Amino acid sequence: MIDIKEILSEQDLNDFFDHNADDLHVVKFGAEWCGPCKSLESRLKNIDSEKIGSTLFAEIDIAENDECEAISEKYGVTSIPCMIYFKNKDMADRSVGLVSLDDIYNRINKLSE
């Protein structure tokens, strides 16, 4: 099981990016009321840590508070679930909708090269 950090503010997100800044960071945007988001969360909890190396994960509930909503707007999140992959703090890839673990592994492998 991997650790998924909950992001509640811009400062939380900055701290997340600063932690092991050279590693790949993945942020899942979703909402408590979103069925596909809950399914994706369950999949993420079953990620094989050996297949993702040092990749770090976080999640943002876009409806949690105004800051979370502002973060989602900043990154152009218009549909959920959305996963944004960050390399060196820059957006490198994104997926929208319920994706498979294989898709997540493939994106991580591609960005880790």
Active site residues: 34, 37
DSSP state of 84: E
Q: By 3-state DSSP, what share of the chain in percent is helix, strand and coil, each rounded to 5?
A: 40, 25, 35
Computed over its alpha carbons, how large is the radius of gyration of the chain? 13
